[in-house]
DNA sequence: TTTCGTGCAAACCATTTGCAGCAGC
DNA sequence: GCTGCTGCAAATGGTTTGCACGAAA
């Protein structure tokens, strides 16, 4: 499916809900669709990227659009516990996971069906309906040892 | 090991680093040690709980102490993507995981060694040193269906 | 032409910080 | 007594919101 026809599906769905397709929403979705696989942006990142492309979209609209597209499931909200969220295209709705370095904040992506299956099993046991599965490994990159600056998270 | 002797170990370690044991730090650690298994508090929760116990500890100190105890590995920082962190006692340093209902914000705890092992394996493959493993299932409790209010996260 | 969406600025909320006085060690 | 800790209030940073205008449908 082409980027354009995938985008058109999104817009059709928005319209069917009485929502509008604006140049701002088009542009933001386009940016996410053209992003290299595994790239995720913060609201601020996106705002700056838009500005660099001469799209003067306000920060408020940036936030509102990110929230809208996430609520519709077109974007996924990533939370790496850094105080701000990241967003990525929720392309195939198959969860993939992240390793986050607590020193340099770099992230690495991986997929693991075993982990997903554990998630599905537990959700079934509890009788809850899964929205998303999240598996994160907080770690320290090789060569970056600074014991005092780490924080345990779960 | 008793609560008191575990607390004394913590304090010994703080002192050995040139840090001080203050009534505020004692009280906060004590609260976490007396918490029912699986309970986690936000900074605000803790602050209010202290106030209810007639411990007038400032919010700033509450935050500073939470950060300190987390950095030393005595507490774990939990991030449920609600805009504020939660903290729990990092008792046995064995990761346990959470199911979070996106409607009512209730959380459920579970342990799963399979998931932990996947984490250890991946960290080893990448050559990184694990600080913490986090596995979260965002879901909707039975009977709570409100399609528009969900947000996809990962 | 009726909503809905946008930009702007102000508001919000969790968290952090500068500073002066206080208190462990 | 030195130095770290506390409380206070102000600052910060990410995100949200009220409002008046502009634009999809």
Tell me B146's DSSP state: -
| pLDDT band for position A144 (cuts 50, 70, 90) | low
Count other Cβ atoms within 10 Å, centred on residue B131.
19
A88, A102: one domain: no
Distance CA B85, CA A50 (A): 30
Distance CA A75, CA A63 (A): 13
| pLDDT band for position A91 (cuts 50, 70, 90) | confident
Length of chain B: 154
Which pLDDT score is estimated for A87?
Answer: 97
A10, A74: one domain: yes
Residue B18 in 3-state DSSP? coil
Does A143 score more than 70 pLDDT? no
The Cβ-side half-sphere exposure at A32, using a 13 Å CA radius, reads 28
Q: Please tell me the distance in Å from B66's CA to the nearest CA on chain A.
A: 10
A83, A99: one domain: no
Task: Give the end of a domain, one of A92, A122, A141.
Answer: A92
The Cβ-side half-sphere exposure at B13, using a 13 Å CA radius, reads 12
A109, A73: one domain: no
Mean pLDDT of A13-34: 97
Task: Give the end of a domain, one of B75, B92, B109.
Answer: B92
Please write the tens of the pLDDT for every residue from A36-71: 988 999 999 999 999 999 999 999 999 999 999 999
Task: State whether B137 and A149 contact (CB < 8 Å).
Answer: no
Which residues of B fall within a CB distance of 8 Å from A95? 154
Q: For residue A128, give its domain range.
A: 94-154
Does A27 score more than 80 pLDDT? yes
Residue B118: give its domain's CATH number: 3.30.1490.190
Tell me A83's DSSP state: S
Q: A122 CA to D4 C1', in Å?
A: 47
Among A131, A135, A148, the residue with its CB nearest the CB of B135 is: A135
Task: State whether A140 and B131 contact (CB < 8 Å).
Answer: yes
Please write the tens of the pLDDT for every residue from B70-92: 999 999 999 888 889 999 999 87
List chain B residues with pLDDT less than 70.
1, 143-154
A101, A152: one domain: yes
Which pLDDT score is estimated for B130?
Answer: 92
Positive or negative, the CA dihedral B117, B120, B121, B122 is: positive
Number of domains making up chain A: 2
Q: Please tell me the distance in Å from B56's CA to the nearest CA on chain A.
A: 26
| pLDDT band for position A82 (cuts 50, 70, 90) | confident
A88, A122: one domain: no
A2, A61: one domain: yes
Which pLDDT score is estimated for A149?
Answer: 43
B2, B68: one domain: yes
Mean pLDDT of A75-99: 89
Residue A86: give its domain's CATH number: 1.10.10.10
B100, B41: one domain: no
Among A76, A126, A135, the residue with its CB nearest the CB of B153 is: A76
By C-alpha distance, which of A142, A144, A124 is closest to A133?
A124
B125, B72: one domain: no
Task: Give the end of a domain, one of A68, A92, A116.
Answer: A92
Which pLDDT score is estimated for A56?
Answer: 94
By C-alpha distance, which of A55, A59, A3, A57 is closest to A29?
A3
**Measured torsion, CA atoms of residues A16, A19, A20, A22, in degrees rounded to the nearest 10:** -120
Task: State whether B140 and A122 contact (CB < 8 Å).
Answer: no
Which pLDDT score is estimated for A39?
Answer: 92
Task: State whether B88 and A133 contact (CB < 8 Å).
Answer: no
Distance CA A135, CA A91 (A): 18
For every residue of B23-58, DSSP letters joined together read HHHHHHHHHHHHS-TT--B-HHHHHHHHHHTT----
> Are the C-beta atoms of residues B65 and A61 closer than 8 Å to each other?
no
């Amino acid at each position: 499916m082409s980027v354009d026809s995938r985008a058109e599906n999104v817009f059709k769905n928005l319209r069917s809900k009485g929502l509008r397709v604006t140049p701002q929403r088009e542009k933001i979705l386009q940016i996410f669709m053209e992003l290299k696989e595994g790239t995720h942006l913060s609201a601020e990142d996106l705002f700056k990227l838009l500005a660099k492309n001469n799209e003067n979209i306000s920060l408020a609209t940036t936030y509102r659009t990110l929230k809208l597209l996430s609520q519709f499931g077109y974007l996924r909200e990533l939370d790496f516990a850094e105080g701000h969220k990241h967003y990525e295209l929720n392309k195939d709705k198959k969860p993939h996971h992240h390793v986050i370095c607590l020193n340099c904040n770099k992230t690495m992506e991986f997929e693991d069906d075993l982990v997903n299956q554990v998630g599905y099993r537990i959700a079934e046991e509890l009788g809850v309906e899964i929205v998303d599965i999240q598996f994160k490994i907080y770690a320290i990159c090789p060569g970056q040892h600074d014991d005092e600056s780490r924080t345990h998270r779960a």
